Structure 1
Amino acid sequence: MTTTELPVAAEPIVALTPSAIKQVKRQQEKTGKQGWFLRLGVRGGGCSGLSYVIDMENDPDPEFDSVYEAGGVNVVVDRKSALYLQGSVLNYDIKNLMEGGFVFENPQSLRSCGCGTSFTAK
């Protein structure tokens, strides 16, 4: 499936920082998934009610998904998740030499858990 068959978002739903783009491309190369879509979303669960989803996907659903390109990375977000993620920024934060991870800065979040993997929507 190509991006021309999928609904293209008028503007990025989640912006990716240069650090996040670099890490996504690194993970795609490491796993042999170059050219796959970065799946961003939310699902019920976690300490605060909604958990973030970050995954790789090669077959988005044109009925439910919107796509866009960010720094050479094809991003896919389902329409329901877009309501909770609109205006967010995804960063890759390196805390020290031993650890790092993706972090969402989400204006739709009222509060988040201590680890940052779940949030309560406004």
Structure 2
Amino acid sequence: MTIRITPAARSRMQEFLARQPGAAGVRFGARPSGCSGYTYSVDIAETLGADDRVFEVDGVRLVVDAKSLPLLDGTEIDFRRQGLNAAFAFDNPNATGACGCGESFTVGAQD
């Protein structure tokens, strides 16, 4: 399993974790949603579930549930600022398509 994070994403994640020192890490996942199939989620992992996998990536503990693993393998997470907007951005080699607004993605023929 390979997930990469850019320096900007690492910095943003470390800011979140500093505000919640008891957290298990940063939860990164994909869940069914949107018009294209799946949407990404990045949040603080308060606790670990039985099906969670923990990866140490550049000093950040990433928590990924087992169902999301095959959808996210190889993904690079970035954090981008454009004007007043700031958000995580994802470069996922498994994504075969995306919706027009960029909020959801498709993976393979299963969608």
* TM-score interval, normalised by the smaller of the two chains: 0.7 to 0.9
Tell me how far apart the structure 2 counterparts of residues 35 and 115 of structure 1 sit (CA, whole Å).
Answer: 35
Select the structure that is richer in helix: 1
Match 1:22 to one of 2, 7, 11:
11
Q: Normalised by the size of structure 2, how large is the TM-score?
A: 0.86
Tell me how far apart the structure 2 counterparts of residues 107 and 25 of structure 1 sit (CA, whole Å).
Answer: 25
Cα shift readout 1:74-108 (whole Å, capped 9, x = no counterpart): 11101110010000000001122x11110110011
Identity of aligned residues (%): 34
The runs of at least 4 aligned residues of structure 1 exceeding 6 Å deviation read none
Tell me which residue corresponds to 2:62.
75
Cα shift readout 1:19-63 (whole Å, capped 9, x = no counterpart): 10001112233xx213521001111111211111111012112x3
Q: Normalised by the size of structure 1, how large is the TM-score?
A: 0.79
Tell me how far apart the structure 2 counterparts of residues 57 and 113 of structure 1 sit (CA, whole Å).
Answer: 27
Match 1:113 to one of 91, 96, 99:
99
Q: Is the 8 A contact 1:19 1:91 kept in 2?
A: yes
Select the structure that is richer in strand: 2
Tell me which residue corresponds to 1:65.
52
Aligned length: 107
Is 1:88 matched with 2:75?
yes
